[in-house]
Amino acid sequence: MTSPLEQKKIRITGPSVVTANRTRDGVVIYRTAQQGWSAQLADAAIVRTSDDARALLAEAVADDVGAIGAYIAPVEIKDNGVIAPGNLREHIRSEGLTIELPVSA
Amino acid sequence: MYAYDELDRTLLHERVEEFRDQVKRRLSGELTEDEFKILRLQNGVYLQLHAYMFRVAIPYGTLSSKQLRALAHVARRYDRGYGHFTTRQNIQFNWIKLAELPDALADLAEVGIHAMQTSGNNMRNVTSDQWAGVAPGEVEDPRIWSELLRQHTTLHPEFSFLPRKFKIAITASEHDRAAIKIHDIGLRLHKNADGETGFEVLVGGGLGRTPFIAKTIKPFVHGRDILSYVEAILRVYNQYGRRDNIYKARIKILVHELGIEKFGKEVEEEWQQLRDSALTLDDAAIEEVRSRFSYPAYEKLPHMPDELKQAAHDPVFERWRKNSVFPHKVQGYSIVTLSLKPVGGPPGDATAEQMDVIADLADRYSFGEIRVGHEQNLALPHVAKRDLPALWKALDKAGLATPNVNLVSDIIACPGLDYCSLANARSIPIAQELTRRFANHDTAGLIGRLHINISGCINACGHHHVGHIGILGVEKNGEEFYQITIGGRADESAALGTLIGPSVPYAEVADVVEDIVEAYLALRDSPDELFIDTVKRLGVEPFRERVYATR
């Protein structure tokens, strides 16, 4: 779970997506193939080569108003085609905390 | 309590409006993220995994009930109904929306709370002993000096772009509850042979990836000279501190590389240029700040009121009293620590409802005052002993009477990978599991004082280096592993813990801690020998053997 904030070289070894946080409220978002953003990982554009990853990231970073902190994150493509987060960090970003929120009933 | 003057209030409101304009320009695209980032950081706004995180300062850990209600209001209206008290007398909200931040700041400014300099490379919140002003035997209230330093360093242009963040803590008691030896500057208030009040000044402490215990740079600096002396240290740091490498930018690295003698000489030379300048505090300036702190009109009360004698027959109350109630400088009063470490709960979190309950109880039983400690617990600093039974019942009802203060389940933990963009591993679930393992408060009481600190990465926000048992989350091939240290401490005898062996996987951490505790129980000289003393006497080896014998 090395922080992607330390991501320097772009070299992917498997299917990946570009993710960021939405500027106005910080919500986790994914770059789509339609040059937009979605809060659903299922809508994310999948890249499989480093060149494609670089291109998708460049496009995402260019949207400085809409998104903040874009980076490339690994995903798994399940047999049924479902996109799943590729590591625990991304799982937590996508699915939420692994603990219950401490909110009173 | 400290009463803000008109200057403070104007400054806060102007700051809110300035930030409102900055946010507006960011959202419209007029400011890029690169341009905006430093501005948001100067207002306590980080970006974490799921959302923006908003860190609010609680200077020297003192809050009024009105201020706590305002924090509850922010939690409820702008966040998800709770806040997280940190290890540096701040509170963090984890789900704040950038577009709503100016309104949240404006609401807080109404009660004199702000988020200035809670992040960024500047002077952070000046922290102090959470028992300041009420601890028996204290030299004097250290918050007066914290406030003087706060005023001098807030928005100080020379200290707004330091090589790296800078933290000061002050204590005035023999027992250090402010962890001054792990701060960039630690100040210990004491009196010299002539009875004058001044400071032992320590410098270069800090944790993170290169931990150091602070060293004494000057045994006594008179109170009137403290601003000029601190400024001299900051000037030397500003000049020589590294800006080319973030990992070597803290003052601790500079002190280590120069050596304390050479660093001290540089500071002394700088100080000679400053010491008799406008920075010298005259008695009137000190008294002006002192006069703005108000103290309760204590009653003359008996040491052992009837209410307390009667309640002592209830073993559950007695267990809580013995654990969570501490001596006060005024007869008939107590300091009460409120554990924010319920069994199975995230350490340091309080819901908006709990904050409101605490504010009400503070009004009823503690002259409207609340304190925040670096151990991520709260305290009511002025509780009449006769009121302890009633207070206990009300706290228990709100889930705030867990009798585990300073015990094995009173765990300090950072937010870890559940929230933090820097983390490598989770902290909170580890803490939760440990509180379940040690949920029996009688057993925890038999184990005695034992501090567990957990950090989810090497940045050490959970102060793992100085935990009696320290737990550091690391990543190994995409999996969460944890390094375990023992023998650390954050008090006046501060020390860094020693690694006991190879890191262990997530699922084994609680077992390892149980093994360490069992080894301690078998090895201690007597029930009075604390865990930390057994480790000091025997070293790491017997604990290492116990943990790794079957692994």
CB A21 to CB B47 under 8 A? Answer: yes
pLDDT surpassing 50 at residue B333: yes
Q: Which neighbouring-strand residues pair with A19? A: A30, A71
Structure tokens at B453: 């600190």
pLDDT tens per residue, range B459-505:
999 999 999 999 999 999 999 999 999 999 999 999 999 999 999 99
CB A104 to CB B354 under 8 A? Answer: yes
Q: In which order are the strands placed within the sheet that holds B369-372?
A: B62-64, B369-372, B378-384, B333-338, B325-327
- Residue scoring higher pLDDT (A27 or A11): A27
For B456, residues 6+ apart whose C-beta sits below 8 A from its C-beta are: B414, B415, B416, B417, B420, B423, B424, B425, B426, B427, B462, B473
A105 band by pLDDT with thresholds 50, 70 and 90: very low
Distance, CA of B74 to CA of B352 (rounded, Å): 8
pLDDT tens per residue, range B71-114:
999 999 999 999 999 999 999 999 999 999 999 999 999 999 99
Distance, CA of A43 to CA of A35 (rounded, Å): 11
Structure tokens at B527: 């029930």
Structure tokens at A38: 């979605």
pLDDT attached to residue A10:
79
Distance, CA of B180 to CA of B228 (rounded, Å): 19
pLDDT surpassing 80 at residue B40: yes
CA-based nearest residue in chain B for residue A99: B429
Average pLDDT score, chain B: 97
pLDDT attached to residue A21:
98
Interior angle at CA B261, CA B255 and CA B267, nearest 5: 70
CA-based nearest residue in chain A for residue B346: A102
pLDDT attached to residue B4:
84
pLDDT tens per residue, range B233-270:
999 999 999 999 999 999 999 999 999 999 999 999 99
ipTM value greater than 0.90: yes
Report chain B residues whose CB lies below 8 A from the CB of A68.
33, 47
pLDDT attached to residue A4:
63
Q: What is the mean pLDDT of residues B39-60?
A: 96
Structure tokens at B254: 């500079």
CB A103 to CB B351 under 8 A? Answer: yes
Q: What is the mean pLDDT of residues B452-457?
A: 98
For B107, residues 6+ apart whose C-beta sits below 8 A from its C-beta are: B70, B73, B74, B77
Distance, CA of B135 to CA of B430 (rounded, Å): 33
Place of tokens 């992040």: B119
Phi, psi (degrees; rounded to nearest 5) at B471: -125, 120
Torsion of CA B98, B101, B103, B109, to 10 degrees: -170
pLDDT attached to residue B3:
81
pLDDT attached to residue A6:
54
Q: What is the mean pLDDT of residues B304-311?
A: 97
Given CB atoms, is A13 within the 8 Å cutoff of chain B?
no
Interior angle at CA B414, CA B410 and CA B417, nearest 5: 130
Q: Measure Cα distances from B426 to B23, B381, B471 in Å.
A: 31, 33, 11
Q: What is the mean pLDDT of residues B448-467?
A: 98
pLDDT tens per residue, range B157-204:
999 999 999 999 999 999 999 999 999 999 999 999 999 999 999 999
Distance, CA of B395 to CA of B384 (rounded, Å): 15
pLDDT attached to residue B234:
97
Domains in chain B and their CATH numbers? 6-109 (3.90.480.20), 142-291 (3.30.413.10), 306-397 (3.90.480.20), 412-548 (3.30.413.10)
Interior angle at CA B50, CA B46 and CA B53, nearest 5: 25
CB B423 to CB A101 under 8 A? Answer: no
Mutant choice from A7, A19, A21 vs B, greatest count of B C-beta within 10 A = A21
For B34, residues 6+ apart whose C-beta sits below 8 A from its C-beta are: none
Q: Are B349 and B340 a contacting pair, CB within 8 Å?
A: yes
Interface residues of chain B, partner chain A, Cβ below 8 Å: 26-29, 32-33, 47-52, 80-82, 95-99, 345-346, 349-354, 417-419, 421-426, 428-429, 432, 457, 475, 478, 480
Report chain B residues whose CB lies below 8 A from the CB of A96.
50
> Looking at CA atoms only, how far is residue B33 from chain A in angstroms?
7
Distance, CA of B313 to CA of B375 (rounded, Å): 30
pLDDT attached to residue B59:
94
pLDDT attached to residue B103:
98
Helices B509-523/B541-548 angle, 10° precision: 130
**% of chain B exceeding 70 in pLDDT:** 100
